[in-house]
Structure 1
Amino acid sequence: MHIFLRGMAVGVTESVPGVSGSTVAIILGIYNQLLYSLSLLTTPRRKEALPFLFVFGIGMVCGFGMSIYIVDYFLHNFQAPTLMFFAGVVLGFLPDLWKETISHTAFKIKWKYWGILVFSCLLVVFSQFLVDVKVLDVEQLSIVTCIFLIAAGFLASSALVLPGMSGALILTILGTYEVAVQSLKSMNLPVVLAVGSGVILGVLVMSRFIQFLLKRYPLGTYLAIIGLLSGSVFAIIYSIEDQVGIASLGFIIIGIIVVTTLTKTKIKVSEL
């Protein structure tokens, strides 16, 4: 049940532009198991991962299906406080992740590693300015359009394994977010299958890549993750269109308190 519920939480955030599903997976302490299980799918040991991924996948699908309507309601009626809460959740988790990061080195962190942190943060920040550069029309679904949708799904799938990266935001940047959501609601199977196949392919490839980086370059990978998470705070706040009042700002504090409480009660992130 706890795997199912955490899958639901990740599924909910996958529908919110600017919020990374893998960020939530880390906060809930399931990121390591998820990444490892996904990396096994392309190996002879894939059967070991199926029980976990099956339960997690069902939860994620249920959460995503609910969020299309529930989170969409909150984002349209209470956008600022909702996104501020997500920003607070990320901020509240960063100190705990930093402690985990420095445990991977007995020496002072070199400048090149700080460069990795800054670069990954700026990567997320500057990507926000590309939003709405393209609007996709799928009335006449051509082969070229299908290839583009598959590529969009592939890039968006990185959000499941790369903390700080938002799949919904990537689809928004590519002009396919509204198309994907509306196609899912109306069960436009050609579009759903095109984007979905790209997501599956991307997850299989990216999971092994990130697993490799964590094993070979743990310190640099951890710092890159911190940079991505830090940049995602800007991504979340930047996407707010409503006026941000004092009450909305208070939801950042609520988000920080929620994560801090989870950490203190040991319902927290496991080692990456």
Structure 2
Amino acid sequence: MIRLKTLLHGAAMGITELVPGVSSSTIAMLMGIYEKLLAAISDLTTGNWKRGLSFLIPLGIGMVASVLLFVSIIRYLLGEHNQPMMFLFMGLVLGILPFLWRSAHAETNRPFRPIHFIIIAAAFILVATTSFFGESGQEVMTDLTIGSYVYLFISGWIASTALVLPGISGSLMFMILGVYYTAIAAVDDFNFPVIITIGLGVLVGLLITSRIVRYLLRAYTQATYSAMIGLVAGSLIVIFPGTFPTTFLYTLVCVMTFIFGLSTALTFGKAERSQ
């Protein structure tokens, strides 16, 4: 049952990785496995690598399976019904903020100081400004050279932050770096050289970044949670589709998807708090 649950967690994270602006680590927090994810990644470079793999393998299988199964569906929904999808994810992201706020106070039993609000504002601005770069990289890279593969590897490394830092979207980072459509096309076409190159970059990035974030959570807990709150809140600006629905029916659909996402996140957050 535990493995099946981990597979489902991975599937949910994999789906969000297909959506620019939505961070899979935010979803990991929503499902209550964020710290376990960091610990498992860290275990790979210690004597507990078997324990880490016992969690990461089913999680990874779930992520890969959901990407392969839903890549075409997500692309269709984002293309044909973008607004309801974006309002759904806005609801999910907004609903996790109270959980992060409570977690920060529960871990330290201290209120935020002015410096923490400054960190929240800085992190919010950092992520919100990425919305200005979301339309880059719309062409699929062809005639790849060694330099192209090096760039894809580095892009995977940078995008791996999405699995570690809530609020940072791997798909959005791919867009900013100009490789989003190349990565999506590679999955659609089973272009294994491109998939493996990006995947190796993601793996190397995870091994390094996860250790840094785990250390910060232990040594600077409240400041790190402050940054996470700002990052997640800033992603709301990135996810917002830019316009509101123009018809009553479509407005109703968007309101319903937003409420569904919000209530789902709040429910998961309360369940995680009670554990």
Q: TM-score, normalised to structure 1's length?
A: 0.92
Q: Deviation of residue 55 (structure 1)?
A: 1.0
Equivalence for 2:92: 89
1:206 pairs with 2:206? no
Q: Deviation of residue 135 (structure 1)?
A: 5.5
Equivalence for 1:54: 57
Give the fraction of aligned pairs with identical amino acids, expressed as a percent. 36
Which structure: greater helix fraction?
A: 2
Structure 2, unaligned stretches of length 5 or more? none
1:246 pairs with 2:221? no
Equivalence for 2:262: 256
CA distance in 2, matches of 1:108, 1:228: 19
The one-letter amino acid of 2:224's match is: T
Q: Deviation of residue 75 (structure 1)?
A: 1.4
Query: Is the contact between residue 25 and residue 34 of structure 2 (CA under 8 Å) also seen in structure 1?
Result: yes
Q: Deviations over 1:40-98 (max 9, x none)?
A: 11122212211111111111111121221222222122110111011101111211211
The one-letter amino acid of 1:253's match is: I
Alignment of 1:118-137 (within 5 A): 118-134=121-137
Equivalence for 2:196: 193
CA distance in 2, matches of 1:72, 1:137: 15
Report the more deviating stretch, 15-24 or 65-74.
Answer: 65-74
**Matched residues, number:** 268
Alignment of 1:80-229 (within 5 A): 80-134=83-137, 138-229=141-232
Relative to structure 1, is the Cα distance of residues 107 and 180 closer, same or farther in structure 2, using a 3 angstrom cutoff? closer
Structure 1, unaligned stretches of length 5 or more? none
Relative to structure 1, is the Cα distance of residues 270 and 51 closer, same or farther in structure 2, using a 3 angstrom cutoff? farther
- Matched residue SS, 1:75: helix
Query: Is the contact between residue 98 and residue 226 of structure 1 (CA under 8 Å) also seen in structure 2?
Result: yes
CA distance in 1, matches of 2:140, 2:185: 12
Query: Is the contact between residue 135 and residue 175 of structure 2 (CA under 8 Å) also seen in structure 1?
Result: yes
Q: Deviation of residue 263 (structure 1)?
A: 3.7
Q: Aligned-pair RMSD on alpha carbons?
A: 2.0
Report the more deviating stretch, 72-81 or 172-181.
Answer: 72-81
Report the more deviating stretch, 189-198 or 26-35.
Answer: 189-198
Query: Is the contact between residue 9 and residue 28 of structure 2 (CA under 8 Å) also seen in structure 1?
Result: yes
The one-letter amino acid of 1:9's match is: A
- Matched residue SS, 2:263: helix
CA distance in 2, matches of 1:146, 1:177: 14
Q: TM-score, normalised to structure 2's length?
A: 0.91
CA distance in 1, matches of 2:188, 2:274: 35
Equivalence for 1:67: 70
CA distance in 2, matches of 1:12, 1:196: 16
Relative to structure 1, is the Cα distance of residues 269 and 16 closer, same or farther in structure 2, using a 3 angstrom cutoff? farther
Relative to structure 1, is the Cα distance of residues 237 and 142 closer, same or farther in structure 2, using a 3 angstrom cutoff? same
Equivalence for 1:31: 34
CA distance in 2, matches of 1:123, 1:88: 21
Query: Is the contact between residue 30 and residue 270 of structure 1 (CA under 8 Å) also seen in structure 2?
Result: no
Relative to structure 1, is the Cα distance of residues 104 and 136 closer, same or farther in structure 2, using a 3 angstrom cutoff? same
Query: Is the contact between residue 139 and residue 181 of structure 2 (CA under 8 Å) also seen in structure 1?
Result: no
CA distance in 2, matches of 1:190, 1:91: 37
